[in-house]
Structure 1
Amino acid sequence: MTRFAAIDFETACHDADSACAVGIVVVENGEIVSRLYEIIRPPTRRFAFTHIHGLTWHDVKDARPFDAVWDTLLPALEGIDFLAAHNSPFDRNVLHACCGTYGLPPPETGFVCTVQLARAQWDIRPTRLPDVCRYLGITLRHHEADSDAEACARIVIAAQEEGWRFR
């Protein structure tokens, strides 16, 4: 089977490099083997999305910046076949923007979008994360990066159990 990581970012504002939290869940052979969660101090104090995820500048001002957090998360991603995210273009963009801001090479690993996977596998519509989780019976604390990442991991696991394979 595969080794993959599900990833979810929460951002402080519209700036793609404004990650203020990240959750990563690593899966090997259909089993969750590790969960990682970090709050991140974004490059600016601007917070426009507190109403979505509940995080404020006060919550993250003493946190490490992305480059320091990434150094501790990167080892968990070694040997993965792909990254999974719900609406993966968003998370891929945040990851690449944060890496760019700090002069880090982004991972070359491809992304699987669990929105597209849920539509293809189960024809779920609408395909917001809470909708997919409700359909599959997955517990979710939406817009908490660790819970969202675990939900994405469980979506991929459910698809794998029904025969889906990463190409």
Structure 2
Amino acid sequence: MRKEASSGNFVAIDFETADYQRDSACAIGVIRVENDQIVDRSHFLIRPPRQKFQFTYIHGITWSDVKHHPTFAELWPNLQPKFAGSDFVAAHNANFDRSVLNACCQAAELDPMPLPFLCTVKLAREVWNIRPTKLPNVCEFLDIPLQHHQALSDAEACAKIVIAARQQ
């Protein structure tokens, strides 16, 4: 297993986006893990920079759901402390979530997140040789409950995948 997956505290995240632009986060789930225990669960709706929603059919979120919620820049002071003291950030298909986080930070003129990312797709392949490795497949293999494309559920599933791998 990768070094960062075998040590310390971590945060698992999942973004849902409104459109094809990476700065269009409309929801984030954040799970904080310390000593293989989930110690904090947070879910936030985010008002993206554009009102057009192309992915409502996937996650069920609409403009009317988020129009009175904070933008990413407004939410950041509440989000940033959740990452404090973490060794890494876990996400399923981490390249996507990292790119959304970086695009949202850039649009908000914030420094990018300095923490390394651990991809639970790659982790599941390395530890259990699971294929296919879509989140529902890995959760079924590990018997993890999942409400797919609900940001908090997806983030919690990622956290549980890392915890299971660390316990292997």
Other-structure match for 1:130: 136
C-alpha distance in structure 1 between counterparts of 2:44 and 2:148, whole Å = 16
| SS of match in other structure, 1:21 | strand
C-alpha separation in 1, matches of 2:160 and 2:137: 14
**Match of residue 88 from structure 1:** 94
Which residue in the other structure is 1:144 paired with?
Answer: 150
Q: Deviations over 1:95-114 (max 9, x none)?
A: 00000001001110000000
1:159 aligns with 2:165: yes
Which residue does 1:117 correspond to in 2?
123
Match of 2:42 in 1: 36
Does 1:18 find its partner at 2:24?
yes
TM-score by length of 2: 0.95
- Give the alignment's Cα RMSD to 1 decimal: 0.6
Q: Is the 8 A contact 1:36 1:73 kept in 2?
A: no
**What's 1:68 paired with?**
74
Q: Secondary structure at the match of 1:90?
A: helix
Point out where structure 2 has 5 or more consecutive residues left out of the alignment.
Answer: 1-6
Q: Secondary structure at the match of 1:104?
A: coil
Deviation of 1:68 (Å):
1.4
**Structure 2 CA distance for aligned equivalents of residues 70 and 115 of structure 1:** 27
Residue 68 of structure 2 aligns to a residue whose secondary structure is coil
Alignment match, 2:3: none
Counterpart of 2:114 in 1: which secondary structure? coil
Identity %, equivalent residues? 56
Aligned-residue offset at 1:76: 1.2
Structure 1 runs (4+) greater than 2 angstroms displaced = none
